[in-house]
Amino acid sequence: MLRLSRTLATSCRAFYAQKKILYSSTLHLPKTSFGPKIPTGEEAKSLIKKSSEEVYQWQMEHKKDCAEFILHDGPPYANGDLHLGHALNKILKDIINRFELIHENKRVLYRTGWDCHGLPIEMKVIQATDPKKVSLLTPAEIRSKCREWASLMIEKQRHQFGEFAIMSDMSDPYVTMDHKYEIKQLLVFRKLVENGLLSRQLKPVWWGCETQTALAEAELEYNNEHRSVAIHVQFPLSQLSNQQLQSIVDASNSNIQVTNPHLLIWTSTPWTIPANKAVCVHSNLTYTLVHNPETNIQLLVAQNLVDDICKYNEQLVVLPVSIPGEKLLSLTYFNPARGTNDTEVFPVLHGDHVSDSAGSGLVHTAPAHGGEDFLIGIRHVLPISSSVDHRGCFIAGELAPGFLSLAGKKVTESATVWDTIKVLDENNMIFHINKKFMHSYPYDWRSNKPVIQRATPQWFVNVEKIKETAIEALNNVSFIPESGKNRLPSFVRNRNEWCISRQRTWGVPLPIVYSKETGEPLEGLEVMDHIIKKIDEYGTDEWFVQEDNISRWLPNEYNGEDFIKCKDTMDVWFDSGTSWTTLGDNLDSLAASEKPLADIYLEGSDQHRGWFQSSLLNKVISSGSHGEGFKPVAPFKKIITHGFTLDKMNVKMSKSKGNTITPSHAITGGGKPFLPSLGTDGLRLWAASSLYTSDVSVSPEILSRVFENVKKLRVTFKFLLGNLNGFDPAQHGVLYDKLNPLDKWSLARLYKLQQDCIEFYKDHNFQKVVRAINTHISTDLSATYFDISKDCLYTDFEDSHRRRCIQTVLETILKTYIGILAPIQPILTQEVWTSYKEEICAGKIPESPFMVTQWEETFKLPKFYENEAIQNDFNQIWKIRDVINKNLESLRLQGSFKNKLETQVNLVIEDETIMNELQPHASFLDDHFLVSKVNVNLDSVTKEGLKYFNETEVCLDGGRSLKVQIFPSDDSKCPRCWKFVSPVPETLCPKCDSVVN
């Protein structure tokens, strides 16, 4: 008997298991070829090509009649692998371009570029050459090697950029070393000459001792923690000035006896003392004497700085005398360190730059080694000659006998500084030494070494003459972030000149020749026009061929044996700053344009000092004619800047620090540090999710969160596509008026999402786009609409009205999400679109979402979807749901049930307005609350024998309320839909029975 019972039980379980299998086959489960895994390999390459290169070519051909949108690409430097900063930059640009294409119906003109000239490539080539053969390389050979290296790097970076799915024709970039580009650049240089803005001057410039070239301000990086040896130096007054100072003191009714007076100066560049030519005071300051009993020296210092000076020596005695600065201007002094036989004296001069806020109130002046010093030297005809050579080493011929021990020593080395101090100390000129003076100091951005100021003959652009026009042009430029509105104009305003000559080989040559006899340049536009014509004929490399006779470069009336070619090349910022000339064929019309040539320039925030500024200046320069008529028109309508990439410790990423993550590592994953495989769209999602206007942090933890976001998007699309299986929008789509209330609510939320995201895109705030989509997926879709709709989608009749309503909405969500996400996720949306095209639309739509000709026809949601009335209704319903969910969770934790489908809800409503609002939704409330049944004003609930019972009051808008009662369902579980709505255990509920049978 026991054995029989066991047999029967086993048979029953087998029967019910079989029935369940049969029931599962009756469900309409999602079905799609779209998978959750990120495409890799050839599949990924195919999707990138289809969504990028092919789209760009298509829109160039099919949108010729559309308005153009131009985002001008700032050229990255063709040297080494790309880093995450490159990825951030290019992806942000691509997002903007794709939005303009898909939403604004623009024809996007986006030509990528490469910056190729300059020191880093030249240094790379020289370092790769056998040191014994470097000196044997001719300039032409160096240039050939540089060109070969740059070409190699362009190909390498072109491939890496291709992994970012950039919508462009990568096969046709602009390259600054291309012949056509160089000729246009030379024609812009010619404009400098025509407009009288170019001059050759012997003056101090920032000089890189390692790179051995002049540097522009934009090529400097300031180290705020640079340490120098700062010294106070005392210069004795000449004998005649001793007497003059005594007379000045006597005139002040002071009984002070002037004895052994010295001028006290302070400097953080001791190596410039051998080049001292004057000491500056300010005529409006008041000075006094401080006596040092140890040395019997009287120091002349600014009265307001006496307390600071006395801190260095407690024995100092401040003498009771006040001396107007203007009275000191006739004094002279000498430099004992120059040698015992040196009798040269130097003047005390007025300097506007002198203050009594720090130092001593007297400023050491070396006209060859400082900007303000140089102006003083010019004003007072002081000798201006650099004491150091191109390597930064002291020149014996420029040193007084007392300093000859320093000859050949490099001034940027600590030992040289101390050797200089030793010479001064041996001559009793050192008052105080600060060995660790920390301050901000400029470094060469290429060698990462401190620079110096050194007077050399250089070519300068007169920015002073055009900067007001340039600043006026910026008044019509938009900036993101807004801080750029002040930053860029301030850089232009503070710039009077631009040193554009560089003492290097790899670059565009200055089309200038000098007289062998006088060393002066041969002037005249006719000569320059002829040279540029010849460079166009022969190429820039030929200019660097050594020639004793340069007749082939000059008009016939000049003897080529009397001249030599200028060996300098142009500043690379001048190179890239003429890139706007690639935005059209006619240079004159581009220069004279009355409106910006590009809609947007987008680069790193450091380009306010660099490319933005050089582009603006060159555009204004080119707009003038013979020094007049400069147009206040910038080459850009809007400037957008992004920050640098930081590691998890918020330290700027750099190869030297070893804290970088390469884009390819982020795309493929694995490695050290271990990263998830983001794929191209994952990398793009990271860029879009960042607050790019500030510095952007990157770490494995951050990229892991991005990966989870990628999975969420793919799962969402898989759900949408899977549940649209068998749905034909043309045949099965339901009109809006026929939709159910929840469907209309979902469309209302979708409409808001689309409107918000469009505004975010227009503001270039992609982080908010991503955030809005994530919130919508989590809150409106996964937790609400999808969750509620699953029962109907899986268990209802395949063609039931309610199921077709839901599918209509799902298809709308799918298209809307494709439209919103396409600029950020082109590969994902292309992949989804392909599945949508093949599985749902039977191939009746374009090949790509980017090939839809009108946003309005495919993606735009109608205004009536907004439906405030339906949103108000559901605001009340969700308030009720939230209370129910809270109570259900509490009951579940108490062990009352395992699944909330075991419950039913009774709403006790006495307020007639609430009843009227809920009436249209009554038949759907069980699904809205995800319970098996919802009753309204059930006559009575017998609490006796109930396992649990819960009652709570819910407050709605306007002070209205209702009661919610929760208790066990009084029916059994349906084995197909799992709701507790079957009148008999292990039997189908009425709905499932009608579907199955």
DSSP annotation string for 113-147 = EEB--SHHHHHHHHHTS-HHHHTT--HHHHHHHHH
* Amino acid 20: pLDDT: 54
* Amino acid 635: pLDDT: 97
* 477: amino acid identity, one letter: V
Sign of CA dihedral 993, 995, 996, 997: positive
- 123-161 residues labelled b (16+ CB within 10 A) or e (exposed): bbbbeebeeeeeeebebebbbebbbebbeebbeebeebb
Q: Domain 224-443 adopts which CATH fold?
A: Isoleucyl-tRNA Synthetase; domain 2 (3.90.740)
* Nearest Cα residue to 153 out of 126, 191, 127, 114: 114
Is the pLDDT at 120 greater than 50? The verdict is: yes
* Amino acid 166: pLDDT: 96
Sign of CA dihedral 432, 434, 439, 443: positive
Q: Which residue has the tokens 């001069």?
A: 349
The DSSP code sequence of 262-317 is EEEEEES-GGGGGG--EEEE-TTSEEEEEEETTTTEEEEEEGGGHHHHHTT-TT-E
Q: Is the peptide bond before 481 cis (omega within 30 degrees of 0)?
A: yes
The one-character DSSP state at 29 is -
Strand, coil or helix: 949: coil
Please compute the mean of the pLDDT values over residues 724-737 and round it to a whole number: 94
Q: What is the largest CA-CA distance in the chain?
A: 137
Q: Do 209 and 392 form a contact (C-beta atoms < 8 A)? A: yes
Whole-number Å distance between alpha carbons of 825 and 391: 51
Whole-number Å distance between alpha carbons of 588 and 138: 36
Whole-number Å distance between alpha carbons of 285 and 359: 14
Which residues, other chains included, contact 524 with Cβ-Cβ below 8 Å and sequence gap of 6+? none
* Nearest Cα residue to 441 out of 208, 222, 204: 222
The one-character DSSP state at 164 is T
The segment(s) of the chain belonging to CATH 3.90.740.10 are 224-443
Is the pLDDT at 382 greater than 50? The verdict is: yes
Whole-number Å distance between alpha carbons of 666 and 653: 15
Q: Do 366 and 375 form a contact (C-beta atoms < 8 A)? A: no
Read off the tokens for 92.
């942000």
SS3 content of the chain, % helix, strand, coil (to 5): 45, 20, 35
Q: Which residue has the tokens 């001719």?
A: 138
* Amino acid 487: pLDDT: 93
The DSSP code sequence of 581-641 is GGG-S-HHHHHT-SS-SEEEEEEEGGGGTTHHHHHHHHHHHHH-BTTB------SEEEEEE
SS3 of 161-196: the string is: HHCCCCCCCCCCCEECCCHHHHHHHHHHHHHHHHCC
Each residue's pLDDT tens digit, 237-291: 998 888 889 888 888 877 888 899 999 999 999 999 999 999 999 999 999 999 9
Whole-number Å distance between alpha carbons of 48 and 653: 28
The stretches of 673-800 forming alpha helices (DSSP H) are 679-689, 700-722, 729-732, 741-762, 766-775, 787-795
Whole-number Å distance between alpha carbons of 656 and 250: 63
Please compute the mean of the pLDDT values over residues 816-842 and round it to a whole number: 96
Q: Do 946 and 760 form a contact (C-beta atoms < 8 A)? A: no
Which residues, other chains included, contact 376 with Cβ-Cβ below 8 Å and sequence gap of 6+? 278, 280, 349, 351, 365, 367, 382
Whole-number Å distance between alpha carbons of 205 and 323: 36
What is the pLDDT of the chain when averaged over all its residues? 92
SS3 of 794-816: the string is: HHCCCCCHHHHHHHHHHHHHHHH
The DSSP code sequence of 31-54 is --S--SSPP-HHHHHHHHHHHTHH
Q: Domain 870-996 adopts which CATH fold?
A: Isoleucyl-tRNA Synthetase; Domain 1 (1.10.730)
The end-to-end CA distance of the chain, in Å, is 37
Read off the tokens for 214.
């002049």
Whole-number Å distance between alpha carbons of 179 and 508: 10
Strand, coil or helix: 662: coil
* Nearest Cα residue to 484 out of 261, 639, 292, 344: 639
Q: Do 601 and 639 form a contact (C-beta atoms < 8 A)? A: yes
Where does the pLDDT of residue 21 fall: very low under 50, low under 70, confident under 90, or very high at 90 and above?
A: low
CATH superfamily of 700-868: Isoleucyl-tRNA Synthetase; Domain 1 (1.10.730.10)
What residues are paired with 964 via a beta bridge?
Answer: 907, 952
Is the pLDDT at 523 greater than 70? The verdict is: yes
* Amino acid 853: pLDDT: 86
φ, ψ (nearest 5 deg) of residue 188: -65, -40
* Amino acid 209: pLDDT: 87
Which residues, other chains included, contact 383 with Cβ-Cβ below 8 Å and sequence gap of 6+? 277, 367, 377
Where does the pLDDT of residue 556 fall: very low under 50, low under 70, confident under 90, or very high at 90 and above?
A: very high
Proportion of the chain above pLDDT 70, given as a percent: 98
Please compute the mean of the pLDDT values over residues 636-651 and round it to a whole number: 92
The segment(s) of the chain belonging to CATH 1.10.730.10 are 700-868
Strand, coil or helix: 958: helix
* Amino acid 385: pLDDT: 86
Is the pLDDT at 430 greater than 50? The verdict is: yes
Q: Which residue has the tokens 């006596």?
A: 291
* Mode of pairing for the β-strands spanning 569-570 and 501-502: antiparallel
Q: Do 829 and 38 form a contact (C-beta atoms < 8 A)? A: no
Proportion of the chain above pLDDT 90, given as a percent: 76
* Amino acid 1: pLDDT: 38
Each residue's pLDDT tens digit, 891-940: 999 999 999 999 999 999 999 999 999 999 999 999 999 999 999 998 77
Please compute the mean of the pLDDT values over residues 395-420 and round it to a whole number: 92
Whole-number Å distance between alpha carbons of 804 and 816: 18
Distance of CA 114 to the CA centre of its chain: 17
Where does the pLDDT of residue 5 fall: very low under 50, low under 70, confident under 90, or very high at 90 and above?
A: very low
Q: Give CA separation, 748 vs 671, 735, 745, 854, 931, in Å.
A: 45, 15, 5, 22, 25
Where does the pLDDT of residue 11 fall: very low under 50, low under 70, confident under 90, or very high at 90 and above?
A: very low
The stretches of 441-511 forming alpha helices (DSSP H) are 467-474, 484-493
Q: Do 747 and 810 form a contact (C-beta atoms < 8 A)? A: no
Is the pLDDT at 12 greater than 50? The verdict is: no
Whole-number Å distance between alpha carbons of 226 and 211: 20
More confident residue, 769 or 497: 769
Q: Give CA separation, 291 vs 262, 299, 364, 430, 622, in Å.
A: 10, 6, 21, 15, 60
| Region class of 628: left (phi > 0), else alpha (psi between -120 and 50), else beta | beta
Each residue's pLDDT tens digit, 305-338: 998 899 898 888 999 999 999 999 989 999 999 9
Where does the pLDDT of residue 975 fall: very low under 50, low under 70, confident under 90, or very high at 90 and above?
A: very high
Q: Do 201 and 461 form a contact (C-beta atoms < 8 A)? A: no
What residues are paired with 934 via a beta bridge?
Answer: 905
Please compute the mean of the pLDDT values over residues 70-75 and round it to a whole number: 96
The one-character DSSP state at 935 is E
Q: Which residue has the tokens 């307390």?
A: 307
Question: What pTM did the predictor assign?
Answer: 0.86
